[in-house]
Amino acid sequence: MRTKRRTIGWWRYLLLTLAALAFAFPFYFMVVGAFQVSPTNSPASLVPTAGWTTQNFSAINSRLDLVGSLLNSLIFTTGVLLGTVVFGLLAGYALARLDFRGKSATWVLMLLIQMVPFQLLMIPLYVQVTRTYGLGDSYLGMILPFAINTTAVFIFTQFFRALPQEVFEAARIDGASELRILRSVAVPLVRPALVTVLLVTFIGPWNEFLWPFLITKDVTMQPLAVSLANYISNVAQSTANANGAILAGAATLAFPVVILFCIFQRYFTASEIGSAVKG
Amino acid sequence: MTTTTRLRTPRRPWWGAQPIGTLFALPYLVFVVVVFVYPLFFAVYIAFHDYIFTAPGVSVPTPFVGFDNFVDVLTDSAVLEAFRNTGVFLVIFVPLTVVLSLVLATALNAGIRFVSAYRVAFYVPYLTASVSLVGVWMLLFSQNGLINTVLGPLAPDPSWLVNSGLAMPTIALYVTWKQLGFYILLYLAALQNIPKELYESAATDGATMRQRFLNVTVPGVRTTTTLVLILAIILGANLFTEPYLLTNGGGPDGASTTPVLLIYQKGIQQQNPDTASAIGMLLVVAVGLLSLAASRLNRET
């Protein structure tokens, strides 16, 4: 019995390690290639000892203003985070803890819109934002469809619901306003959930390509995902050794998220995300 | 206004015990109406009318045309090919995702060491921008790329992304790789809810590891499998970035075009929002029917 258990364990590690290597390899290729004069295409030179350079970053920077694009990504993401934290917390708290007219209607609406696919809304939203509101090539237009992350509102509601009722009653008897209860009682109690939600919300706009791609024609307004995609699909074909520059751009876009995730990954647990998605 | 009703008071005013809640929920409600409810009805309106883009403030007649846009779309061979391509994608992507994510989640669930290192490796592709990973895959799978160098004489000709038979399968492989971490996460949550006693009694009855997997694990995560199927179908219907970049706009010769890519090309590039909206509606109906079928099928077996 004992030896049998051990062989099973051995296979388990082999399977997981092989899978992990398959998952990690493109990242390794990206990081090494970003700092190589000419990224390799042969397995024999996958562990280069020479040819290190930072020239790829200046090469891509000369074609698509890396810092400006990063700044646009950051403004876009910050706008979504602010909207989600401020209005999402308010809505989540109201749905979980307050008794008001229209509560059940709001809840039903929230569940229903999670089933509405973006591909159907793409054209009308494009017409609305660029033609009706005149928000093409603006941060506001980029942020608008993502301004309050519904998944985040949902997670906030679930976490506020799980708190004991007595805490809220005590605060109300002490005469605290609902805004004050939210700020000083409810939010501090759900801080770990807040980290998860912030991380999930950050990733959305940071990685988003389709929407900002549709509404930004002005290159100085484009987030990095859009300007890098334009480089890959248009400029790279006419550039001599573009591979290193592509990998440098890819690494610049990827690494803020990878680093954030590695720092906060202990908050990113299966049960929390699972409960959020499954309801 | 904000005075709360006492617990013992049975009366509850019409506007609720804490009417300030309406104020709290209002920004979100306005957001939902502006970004989801109104565009949803607007999409249906556009699809049934002869709609064209105008400058802000200019109004032109948009006559009702019934199902004309849908007829245009359904007789367009490019649209039919896009839906067929999505079918090819789903046939590869869905089974691969369900099997791999369940197997890896099971392996990860058994209290092994270095769990967090494996978790980081599995989730990172899911969290990273598709644009950046597509850049890497494009180089790996290019004509003279690493994959072809390793394969040597076995390398496909024409190469992966410019081969009309392999373009869509390569995209399916890429998306499976990118999204798997998310599905592993879902299955891990489900596995933690299967009672340990079930495995113990199966083991005392002499069930092998394979039998335990098939008879305890697989039925135990059935509701999650339904969720995974539906999410995978929705994802497959939403493909845009991958064919746009990886196969340079759905190439070669439309072999990896997807409906959303066509919505972009027809609606925004060629300025025909009405036919684009019709494609969107057909796509949503198709996704709805497929999801329904998937959940029915999974319930019965």
Q: What confidence category does residue B1 fall into, taking pLDDT thresholds of 50, 70 and 90?
A: very low
CA distance A55 to A243: 12
CA distance B109 to B289: 33
Does A177 lie at the interface with B, CB-CB under 8 angstroms?
A: yes
Interchain proximity B136–A116, CB inside 8 Å: no
The interface residues of chain A toward chain B in range 209-228, judged by CB-CB distance below 8 A, are: 209-210, 214, 225-226, 228
Q: Which of A23, A206, A213, A243 to mutate to test the interface with B (most CBs of B within 10 A)?
A: A23
Interchain proximity B276–A123, CB inside 8 Å: yes
Indicate whether B2 pLDDT > 50.
Answer: no
CA distance B96 to B236: 13
Stretch B146-168: mean pLDDT: 88
CA distance A119 to A167: 43
Nearest to B32 among A113, A144, A261 (CB): A113
Residue B18's CB: how many other CB atoms inside 10 A?
Answer: 22
What's residue B265's pLDDT? Answer: 93
- Average pLDDT, whole number, for chain B? 88
What's residue A197's pLDDT? Answer: 85
Nearest to A101 among B22, B118, B192 (CB): B22
Residue pair A157/A96 in contact (Cβ under 8 Å)? The answer is yes
What's residue A274's pLDDT? Answer: 47
Locate the domains of chain A by residue range. Answer: 76-223+265-278
Does A153 lie at the interface with B, CB-CB under 8 angstroms?
A: yes
Stretch B140-153: mean pLDDT: 87
Peptide bond into A48 cis (omega under 30): no
Give the residue among B130, B162, B141 at the shortest CA–CA distance from B250.
Answer: B162
What's residue B173's pLDDT? Answer: 96
Interchain proximity A91–B122, CB inside 8 Å: no
What's residue A268's pLDDT? Answer: 66
Question: What CATH number does the domain containing B133 carry?
Answer: 1.10.3720.10
Q: What confidence category does residue B5 fall into, taking pLDDT thresholds of 50, 70 and 90?
A: very low
The interface residues of chain B toward chain A in range 132-151, judged by CB-CB distance below 8 A, are: 132-140, 144-146, 149-150
Does residue B114 sit within a domain? yes
- Angle, CA A98 vertex, CA A97 and CA A101 arms, to 5°: 145
Closest residue of chain A to B176, computed from CA coordinates = A23
Indicate whether B198 pLDDT > 80.
Answer: yes
Is A76-223+265-278 assigned to CATH 1.10.3720.10? yes
Residues in chain A, pLDDT under 50 = 1-4, 6, 270-271, 274-279
Interchain proximity A119–B259, CB inside 8 Å: yes
Residue pair B123/A268 in contact (Cβ under 8 Å)? The answer is yes
Residue pair A106/A91 in contact (Cβ under 8 Å)? The answer is yes
The interface residues of chain A toward chain B in range 101-130, judged by CB-CB distance below 8 A, are: 101-103, 106, 109-110, 113, 116-128
Residue A106, token pair as written in the block: 């709001």
Does residue B220 sit within a domain? yes
The DSSP result for A232-263, as a single string, is IIIIGGGSTT-HHHHHHHHHHHHHHHHHHHHH
Q: What is the pLDDT of residues B8-67, one digit of tens each?
A: 555 678 888 888 899 999 999 999 999 999 999 999 999 999 888 776 667 777 888 888
Between B115 and A162, name the one with better pLDDT. Answer: A162
Q: What is the pLDDT of residues B223-273, one digit of tens each?
A: 899 999 999 999 999 899 999 998 888 878 889 999 999 999 999 999 899
- Angle, CA A199 vertex, CA B186 and CA B103 arms, to 5°: 20
Domain hosting residue B160, numbered range: 70-300
What's residue A218's pLDDT? Answer: 92
Closest residue of chain B to A134, computed from CA coordinates = B56
| Identity of residue B243 | P
Does residue B80 sit within a domain? yes
Length of chain A in residues, anyone? 279
Chain A residues closer than 8 Å to B35 by CB = 121, 125, 144-145, 147
Nearest to B25 among A91, A145, A257 (CB): A91
Residue B210's CB: how many other CB atoms inside 10 A?
Answer: 8
Could you give the number of structural domains in chain B?
1
Does residue B129 sit within a domain? yes
Does A44 lie at the interface with B, CB-CB under 8 angstroms?
A: no
Chain A residues closer than 8 Å to B185 by CB = 270, 273-274
Does B214 lie at the interface with A, CB-CB under 8 angstroms?
A: no
Does residue B60 sit within a domain? no
What phi, psi does B162 have (nearest 5°)? Answer: -110, 15
Nearest to A229 among B110, B112, B245 (CB): B245
* 3-state DSSP assignment of residue A36: strand
Does A233 lie at the interface with B, CB-CB under 8 angstroms?
A: yes
Q: Which of A97, A123, A243 to mutate to test the interface with B (most CBs of B within 10 A)?
A: A123
What's residue A23's pLDDT? Answer: 93
Find tokens 């970004």 and name the residue: B35
* 3-state DSSP assignment of residue A164: coil
What's residue A194's pLDDT? Answer: 85
- State the smallest CA–CA distance between residue A42 and chain B in angstroms: 6
The DSSP result for chain B, as a single string, is --PPPPTT-----TT-S-THHHHHHHHHHHHHIIIIIHHHHHHHHHHTB------TT------B-TTHHHHHHHT-HHHHHHHHHHHHHHHHHHHHHHHHHHHHHHHHTS--TTHHHHHHHHHHHHHS-HHHHHHHHHHHTSTTSHHHHHHGGGS-SS-GGG-TTTHHHHHHHHHHHHHHHHHHHHHHHHHTTS-HHHHHHHHHTT--HHHHIIIIIHHHTHHHHHHHHHHHHHHHHT--HHHHHTTTTT-STTTT--HHHHIIIIIIIS--HHHHHHHHHHHHHHHHHHHHHHHHHHHH-
* 3-state DSSP assignment of residue A88: helix
Does residue B175 sit within a domain? yes
Does residue B5 sit within a domain? no
CA distance B287 to B243: 19
